[in-house]
Amino acid sequence: MAAAAPSPAPAPAMSPKVAVSPKAVDRKVVPVVAAAADEVSNEVHVLAVDDSSVDRAVIAKILRSSKYRVTTVESATRALELLCLGLVPNVNMIITDYWMPGMTGYELLKRVKESSKLREIPVVIMSSENVPNRISRCLAEGAEDFLLKPVRPSDVSRLCSRIRW
């Protein structure tokens, strides 16, 4: 399996030759369909990043039950790859675990905020540990919010009601 972008009608910004090497493909990623250029999506699209399969399933379900479209990835590196290659169009929010092997959610947050293309996307950090320093660092770095795990539906609805899509 070579390319990760299955759509035959890529948005103009995408190079049709984009091919992600098989090693880089995160086989657990939900297949991404690039929206056609003239299709206006009113649906909120959330990119959820977590190395735990259990947590991905839970956060995806919570978000989907609020009618958000969700793409899940298991690493921050993969998330950045998808974002930078334009393989996840129109992401309205990124929600990421803090502690992950490889790149942490904090590092992902920084990269997103440093990128002129991505910096407007709200980033929410999730963590199972209530560490005040960690929380304030993330907020200082531009995180929209910090959620303690286990994440509840009420946490997410409170959060999403504040964000201006």
* Contacting positions for another protein (CB under 8 A): 52-55, 57-58, 61-62, 64-65, 128, 149-153
- Indicate the SS3 state at residue 73: strand
Of 83 and 100, CB closest to another protein: 100
CB of 70 to another protein, least distance (A): 13
C-beta closer to another protein: residue 66 or 115: 66
CB of 46 to another protein, least distance (A): 16
Shortest distance (Å) from residue 62 CB to another protein: 7
Label the pairing between strands 123-127 and 69-73. Answer: unpaired
Given the structure tokens 């030759």, which residue do they identify? 17
Rg over CA atoms, the chain:
15
Q: Would the CA dihedral through 70, 74, 86, 139 be positive or negative?
A: positive
